[in-house]
Amino acid sequence: ESEMVAFIDNSRDNGALWNSLLNATLECSAVPTHSRSLELIETTLKSQLNVEHCQIHLPTDELSSAHKLNDDQDEPLKPMTKITFLSGVPDELRGFFEVNHWESIVMIPIAKNSRHGFVSFASLNPNKYTADTDTEFLEKIGIVVTELLIPGN
């Protein structure tokens, strides 16, 4: 019986997460593409998904934002093809984050056509984002952010 209760609780939690992503998608989609900023998407994801830190990172030749990367920082983005989990902020990535004291980080690739970048979520909790985290939901976040930022085919 306790396993059934745990299963039902987990299902409710998962349903709530998917509902939060849907709400974030609908909220951002309601804003015309030309008015949709990285900060709007970051703030909406942070609020709807209840995360401590959300930041979108794009190379300099893409959308204008305070979070653009300079040319020296573009290289680490290119090979990113899968979700990456970090324990703390490594020295080579310190320039990517506004704050460098996070204990756990997940970097979710966003890519479409020749455009690429990543969404990062970070937490002071060292166990929040680990290699044991289910990536299905995180992959969907990457798809949603990609479509919000880079609409069309």
The DSSP secondary structure of 75-130, one letter per residue, reads GGGTT--S-EEEES--GGGGGG-S----SEEEEEEEEETTEEEEEEEEESSTTSS-
Average pLDDT for 11-21: 64
pLDDT tens profile 51-89: 899 998 877 544 434 444 444 444 444 547 889 999 888
CA distance 13 to 20: 11
CA torsion 120-123-124-128 (nearest 10°) is: -130
* Predicted pLDDT of residue 70: 43
8 Å CB contact between 142 and 108: yes
pLDDT tens profile 105-144: 999 998 877 778 889 999 999 999 998 888 888 898 888 8
Find residue 119's DSSP bridge partners: 56, 108
Q: Which residue has the higher pLDDT, 24 or 43?
A: 43
Q: Which residue has the higher pLDDT, 115 or 13?
A: 115
